[in-house]
Structure 1
């Protein structure tokens, strides 16, 4: 029997509100939740369905602070479930919404987030999938990603259950969602088992019979051959895929054994002992209780065991001693909510944080309506920095949130004795988020006073944000919402940066030759430029340099490199030379160029498509890399999609023609070029181009390419077609144009 719209709404509200209530009730009892007072304090709590306020330890161990949590506030479990729901409302672009918007934005407001999701979110914010690595740091992160098998997928996939068109689509959505943060089959198998049980509960007319849900869970043990084609292109090498497939089969067997265990327990009816069964599953063992398979099977057990008494299942999950109680209670209560709706939650469904928003979002997902979601006007990382900077002013009014929603500041408080300023933000759709900013009066004054690098200055850029994400572990002290601006923005010289060195004279001499001026040492210090110091440390002290890049802009690059005994590879002003200082730090050196400052915004909306094509041709005409540039305007009835062409300049014989390069101009400010547009251009329109053999296609856009389009282009280039494809995004174009202020002025793009 097909459920009515009213039934679907009731079910969706039960799932969403049940999950949020379970999360909020179980969070204080979570073994890794950071409750002040530890296990002794958790043991003092009376198991009952009543929210309570509590205080947790948050922040990195070296910068710990007390995080007050008010009664009914939820954690990362609900935050990510709601983020997934918003992705579903994006329709066919749900995966792009997840990887380009929701995950990169989430660390700003996360509470109790797990290490795997934090690391993956940091990777996506750098526009890099977590399964790709190109350095020692990212290789380590990739290895941790491929070993991530916790319950961070299962806890967020409920919206897909309501949205999917049948079992096969559900499998695809869960796998595609889960693989963005977790690379181990244990996370994905657990999520699939849970998704199939939740789907079964949502479509059930009657309450579960004991063991009824075990059969539904077994249907979620999907053959790996069905899963492999669903993985993103380039997800792994042949060896990695073989290992994944083998591990998947082992994990299916592991989950099947866990399901056999709960089936045996449930067969005893009322004699089934919840505590002993959960202990047997591993739910009280901190080493494994966060596993994707264990959490999912435990929730199936509790929902079946307490199908007729849902309050008992909720309390049993939320107060399980030494358990992953917030996730277990959230998963269990969502299944029970699918069975019973929301009424059984009583007053808790009204008292949980953002109850109205959670219920309303559930109704939107149940209706399966593609909503015109707001997409961010700038990359989430940029908006995140702007938001944090604005919160240094306690009277900040509001603005654009990193995920595109608008926010207003409802309340600001200074957390006692912590140096943390907490801002309570209300987003335009009704959700409440908390953003903690570390405020240091001395650092703040430095930052306001010295924001520009000296013309001979060096700009160290640390990776503390990534380090924090790597160190984060779910619910631990390392998992915090607080941020300081210097953790996400380059540190400028004016802030007073000190670089440790084991050989002061040698390192000072290196930078003196590089910048072309004397550097005098005073005791154990030497000043490279205003605010940048070298500090001699003890000879046996380890110096960590792998996370630091020093950027140096010099007056004359050629002369600077000659002083270093090096040759300039090309006589180009935009050349960047990579060196290594005596302590092993990466040093990037470039010619100082007078440019339009980044504070002057480029207004793409002031020109139309024809102007953009003319601007593109003007750039080609002035480029040293191309010759014989021009447009392709003609009277052809068929649009070939080509707006400009040029030939690669040949240095050996300038009279000869080089490689033919064609350009496609896409004037779409703040919009994304879709995969369909790229495929139409390459597979259809270019076949009508008859002006020669094309060596390279360049797509220039005032927006950007969707992630699926980017992956398609990467795959196309990897396949080594005769024609390669390049992309000039708005960021690339702005970088070029800032060095050509006369073109910006000609087209009226500034001011």
Structure 2
């Protein structure tokens, strides 16, 4: 299980770094900046990259950094999460990034929520408009630290309160965490994702039956419903089901048209699950497709990588990329995985 936990963190970091130079760009802009061939290796961000101009090849973004920040919070809390302390940790991270001159700071929902937190708004209210994917992008450590049991759901819920306290924030965070957890438990890729959907469905039903909240309502579409649909859609265009119907570009074009690739959780999370479904046994190809989609490429690739890395283990990705992303960003993902696993009872199985 250690190998699969490391794989989840490596998939997160490699996907993030691969999508870093293309994030927030259109497919046409990506081709104009980096060439007609898909970005399939770590490359320096171009000077007009809208979020990370000239960032060094192999650098991770806020996706990995905030996921590891959450990992440290869970480790320091012996598996529990103090949401006020978590909010202060995010604020301190933003200050550190600003001091380094980075433009790659907080996403829109997280930034708005933390500004309200600093202004004295109750922490239970700061995240009630957060429908983007900030909670989901940080969810991988929750899936490593917890088996797919009620505690995973509770920690996922608590992790969304400060910044993404909405139905979309809760569903997306739980989906990614549960898919990672099922992957580490030994499920096959599509099985892990479908079981994650069932897990979230059951949890939400239980919460409603008990009269508890499941995140603040938003008129935006359900992440859970769209993700389940996206998995089934992608299965119809996978392997023997339709060997010649869609090539990589056609699949990406259709995904953009009917699912979307924005920072909204109800687009980016279903997109990641669809890619992980179609490329379930080709993790590297999955990350390349995600990195060249256009839109929130780094986050989509990071979530895709976390899920497929959890299923396939550390060997799912090229060894040179695994080594490079850790060296450039000074990461020790094996140690982090070990400490997260120690929070669960997995070692005693």
Offset of 1:294 from its aligned partner?
2.8
2:7 is aligned with 1:21: no
Tell me if the contact between 2:223 and 2:265 (Cα under 8 Å) persists in the aligned partners: no
Query: C-alpha offsets along residues 600-621 of structure 1, whole Å, 9 cap, x if unaligned?
Result: xxxxxxxxxxxxxxxxxxxxxx
Offset of 1:99 from its aligned partner?
2.9
Structure 1 segment 247-326 matched on structure 2, within 5 A: 252-266=224-238, 268=241, 270-271=243-244, 273=246, 274-282=248-256, 289-320=262-293, 322-326=294-298
Mapped to 1, the partners of 2:31 and 2:235 lie a distance apart of 34
Which one has a bigger Cα radius of gyration? 1
2:335 is aligned with 1:360: yes
- What does residue 216 of structure 1 align with? 195
SS state of the match for residue 54, structure 2?
strand
Q: Aligned pair in 2 of structure 1 residues 350, 106: CA closer, same or farther (>3 Å)?
A: same
**Aligned residue among 75, 78, 83 for 2:69:** 83
SS state of the match for residue 68, structure 1?
coil
Mapped to 1, the partners of 2:331 and 2:218 lie a distance apart of 45
Could you list the runs of 5+ residues in structure 2 that have no partner in the other structure?
98-103, 345-349
SS state of the match for residue 265, structure 1?
coil
- The alignment of Structure 1 onto Structure 2 pairs a total of residues equal to 330
Higher strand share: 1
The CA RMSD measured in Å over matched residues stands at 3.5
Offset of 1:319 from its aligned partner?
1.5
Mapped to 2, the partners of 1:295 and 1:175 lie a distance apart of 19
Higher helix share: 2
**Aligned residue among 37, 42, 57 for 1:46:** 37
Q: Aligned pair in 2 of structure 1 residues 268, 53: CA closer, same or farther (>3 Å)?
A: same
Offset of 1:16 from its aligned partner?
0.9
**Aligned residue among 172, 183, 188 for 2:154:** 172
Offset of 1:160 from its aligned partner?
0.8
Q: Aligned pair in 2 of structure 1 residues 198, 148: CA closer, same or farther (>3 Å)?
A: same
**Aligned residue among 131, 145, 157 for 1:149:** 131
Tell me if the contact between 2:233 and 2:274 (Cα under 8 Å) persists in the aligned partners: no
TM-score, normalising length: structure 2: 0.80
Higher relative contact order (CA 8 A, sep 6+): 2
Offset of 1:77 from its aligned partner?
0.4
SS state of the match for residue 281, structure 2?
coil
Query: C-alpha offsets along residues 187-240 of structure 1, whole Å, 9 cap, x if unaligned?
Result: 2212222222222211126x54xx434522431432535346797xxxxxxxxx
SS state of the match for residue 200, structure 2?
coil
Tell me if the contact between 2:22 and 2:49 (Cα under 8 Å) persists in the aligned partners: no
**Aligned residue among 301, 311, 336 for 1:329:** 301
Query: C-alpha offsets along residues 273-332 of structure 1, whole Å, 9 cap, x if unaligned?
Result: 35444444447887x632213322222232232233222112111112x23210111111
Could you list the runs of 5+ residues in structure 1 that have no partner in the other structure?
1-7, 60-64, 133-141, 232-240, 370-751
- What does residue 206 of structure 2 align with? 226
Offset of 1:100 from its aligned partner?
4.5
Tell me if the contact between 1:100 and 1:125 (Cα under 8 Å) persists in the aligned partners: no
Q: Aligned pair in 2 of structure 1 residues 108, 155: CA closer, same or farther (>3 Å)?
A: same
Tell me if the contact between 1:17 and 1:334 (Cα under 8 Å) persists in the aligned partners: yes
Offset of 1:118 from its aligned partner?
1.5
Mapped to 1, the partners of 2:94 and 2:296 lie a distance apart of 21
